Amino acid sequence: MAEAIFGEVLTAMVTPFNDDGSLNLDGARKLASYLVDHGSDGLVVCGTTGESPVLSHDEKLALFEAVTGEVGGRAKVVAGTGTYNTAESIELTKEAGGLGVDGCLLVTPYYSKPPQNALLAHFSVIADATTVPLMLYDIPGRTGMRIERPTMVELAGHPNIVAAKDAVGNALETAKLRCDLDAAGHHDFALYSGDDLMLMPHLGGGVVGVVSVCSHLIGPQLKQIISAYNDGKNDEAMRIYLECLPLMNTIMGLTTSPIPIKAAAAMIGLDVGGLRLPLVAATEDQSRTIRSALEDLGLL
């Protein structure tokens, strides 16, 4: 079975902003430290939850440097360096590697919807340009294009491509991918769940961990779910999962992420600030729903 090379619970970290919308690097350092102290084995910086589309190249590098400086050595730091621009992705990946990150996350190019042979070329040329371990991010709901299983299996043969974040939303497809990877001899290629709500089904499909949004709030519980499952205590894993499910459903399903998690994080006292347009803060009704879900789980 593949190892959890980046840890079992990785938080897809929100990006803290100041009141004027500027980047809050001190807040990012404090948040990173908090998350590592509360169940996270690793952090994904400048991913979807980190509002990567509205961060400049220099802001991303500043975040990579700040978070690595704060928790490097205590937790894995995975830098979100994938964009819909291959040349920019190469440059950002190389620069992130120079800052000492443990890995880079490469999302499927969005909007342009490249076909499978183009995806193969895109990811391969980035991997050729770096020695940093890479995690591919398959999230067709946001990008409009899936990394099909044969493409993923071929990419898994590249020595620098070591893992995938699976946000396809189909546990059977995850299991089929694990089967195809093993059949091709890629037993060490690690699959991570990219969807909190799918954690238990994904564990059954062969993932080694989760890249989580809700771990801002329930990192220890997610760690307990994975540990119990790995120890063969499936009833215990399911009990904790079901306890957390209503909150996860609220955070991941109420409106576009990361709007709910930023509201929830602020409610539990984390200094994360607001969101940058085109995203806006949770409405009053949404905030009441989020607060109720936090209270039901005893987090407020």
Question: What's 219-287 look like in SS3?
Answer: HHHHHHHHHHHHCCCHHHHHHHHHHHHHHHHHHHHCCCCCHHHHHHHHHCCCCCCCCCCCCCCCCHHHH
In percent, how much of the chain has pLDDT > 70?
100
Is 297's pLDDT higher than 90? yes
Residue 1 located in a structural domain: no
Tally Cβ neighbours within 10 Å of residue 238: 14
Mean pLDDT of the chain: 97
Model confidence at 208, in pLDDT bands (50, 70, 90)?
very high
C-alpha angle with apex 62: 70 to 68, nearest 5 degrees? 25
Residue 168 located in a structural domain: yes
Residue 270 located in a structural domain: no
Residue 274 located in a structural domain: no
**In which residue are the tokens 């940093």 written?**
132
Q: Quick one: pLDDT at residue 8?
A: 98
Residue 107 located in a structural domain: yes
Residue 139 located in a structural domain: yes
d(CA 263, CA 265): 6
The residues near 232 (Cβ < 8 Å, ≥ 6 apart) are none
Cis peptide bond upstream of 114, omega within 30: no
Model confidence at 1, in pLDDT bands (50, 70, 90)?
confident
Number of structural domains, the chain?
Answer: 1
Is 25's pLDDT higher than 80? yes
pLDDT in tens, 129-161: 999 999 999 999 999 999 999 999 999 999 999
Range 194-198 average pLDDT? 97
Residue 252 located in a structural domain: no
Q: Hey, which residues are catalytic here?
A: 137, 165
Supply the range of the domain harboring residue 196: 9-233
Q: Quick one: pLDDT at residue 180?
A: 98
Q: Quick one: pLDDT at residue 228?
A: 98
Range 227-239 average pLDDT? 98
Residue 260 located in a structural domain: no
Q: Domain with 168 in it: what CATH number?
A: 3.20.20.70
d(CA 128, CA 107): 16
Q: Quick one: pLDDT at residue 231?
A: 97
